[in-house]
Structure 1
Amino acid sequence: MATDEASDRLFALSREYANQGQIAQESGDWGRLSREALLRRADLNVREQLSEGDLRIHGPAMLGHSAELGAVGAIALGWQRAVSAVGAGLEQVKSVRGTLPADVVQRTALLLQAAPAPGSVVLHIAPKAIALDEVEPAGALQLYERPRPLADRASEVLISLLRRIVDVAPSDIEPVTEELTELGPRVGSSLSSLALALDRTNLTLDAAWREPERATVRATVTPSGAKWMREFIAGRGLDAEQLRVRGNLRTISDRERWLVEVGDRALRMDASELTPAAVAEWRVGDLVDLLVRVSQVERPDGAVRRDYAILGLSSPDGAFTPSVEGFEDD
């Protein structure tokens, strides 16, 4: 471990500069990267230094140097969910169904410190996981293509997505859509929830992430930018996935959600997108194949539930073997 007095002083200076709240200045990278170069020359492992970031919250809803705890909590929770969702997408866990693997949750967990700044609140965040456990697994030094911690990769991708979505140019719409599609609907859903928190609280978020040996990445999302981001995601269906399931119709209504028994689960499903003619074809107790859109919806209290919408029904196909893993009645 790098514990000598000189390296400790260098890192303390790096922290002091970062904590000045000037997270929008690119010049800060020059000093930090220079200090990391000195550590390398002294044969010290730069990756023993912490990655870290800042979430600066400001805007008309601020009360001097203070903000409502509920508003800050909603934004912080939205950020953690988004980082974990992006990390899961990078690890090929993309569905909105089921829970995230414990390994992904552990590797993307962030620690928080809060500090006031003029007219804003700054949340200093850092990975909870030890970087060397991923960079040098079992203490083995990787000379080429050293792995990067998942928290670093997820934070970088998240900030890049935020910057590109809120400032998207017409020529960049398709590439951004494709990237979000590739990461999966859980990422789209988490970004929509984060945007909802910013829009509701009327607060602006300045986000920055600093990783050893890499330039700082930054993004700013205003309340209007957050509203646009939600519309962008919802308008392209980037927060939902379509699945085919088989179930028994337990209730049918032209007003209320239908109760559908899928496997051993009773699920409430929105049937409002079906035509009256399509509804009239079916009776309670019928076994049907359903095309269902599954999405995650955030409640006003911050809790997240799954929402099921029936897009189509058909008579059972004997060759159809649906999977109900990850379905639950919310």
Structure 2
Amino acid sequence: MGNTPPAEGIRVPAAALHQLAADFFQKAGTNSADAQFLADLLTATDLRGVNSHGTWQLPGYVHMMLEGRVNLRPNIKVTSSTTTARVYDGDGGMGHFPCHQAMTWVAETAAEYGTAAATTRNHFHFGSAGKYSRIAAAAGCVGIAISSHRYDLPSESIVKGVNATSPISIAFPNGEQPPLVLDMGAHMLPWGEELFAQIPFAFFKELGIGAVNRALGGVLAGIYLPQFIPPASPWESNQGSFLAAFDVRAFMPLAEFQAQMDAFVAAARNMRPFPGLDRAELPGNLEWQREREYARDGVPISLQHQQHLQELADELGVTTPFASYEHTRFTAQ
């Protein structure tokens, strides 16, 4: 599932996707409030065009819940706390719960003290990293969200495997221009000895990003502690995160920063685009634009995405909204 708009499919209003997601989660056994919360985050991700981490994830999430690998009623706890740092325990549930709580606290605390950070552990997937960095940016802070999954590093494998998909997102407060929001996984290059011989520096830089993401979002977060690993833990609990925020106002007036960022982003967008593209954009710009377009016109859902969700609906006996929006169907020009 890529994150380019589909060439063909239908457009479904975000509200309809939200209701479908909430219905799925309740069928899986979550309470209504948690189902609505998860649906909020997945639908917000769809609206930004990050298809890979929105409602596309529903079958995987729901099956994990039905199989008993994820705690449906987690009790989120703060297990360590100082004035500006905390550790959150997700109690084996979805990572969205502790990570959203943690970043909300981080942003509020950074606004008071200039900076704050938290780690989260003992939970499953947290979705797109950009959801959390944007919480801090909305509060006038630079937000950082990093995560890593727990997985082995076989000695017979190429060290490139350290990267996997450990994500990082950094978001900056914006003014009138679209925001600068980096949101990416560490795996960027296909492995091949010929390609490595041509651009070895690119692989070493990729490795560096992946290793740092794994150290902060995994090791520092505590996902390798034995009590969070089956069979000691009854839950999957294979992901952690590192979340941080820096209040812009500790360095310069927020309005001045936003004006300077506007000038920077506008100048970058006025440059020549990469070959094959019709415009130059910085990371996060397209998501900002798609969020407005999709809220107005509906989220474009590919044929594969629609079938993916329809199969889950048929399995669970949930009614989908797709037939109501068949008139929005579009095809490749």
Is TM-score (shorter-chain normalized) higher than 0.5?
Answer: no
Higher relative contact order (CA 8 A, sep 6+): 2
Larger Rg: 1
Q: Which protein is richer in helix relative to its size? A: 2
TM-score, normalising length from structure 2? 0.25
Question: Normalised by the size of structure 1, how large is the TM-score?
Answer: 0.25
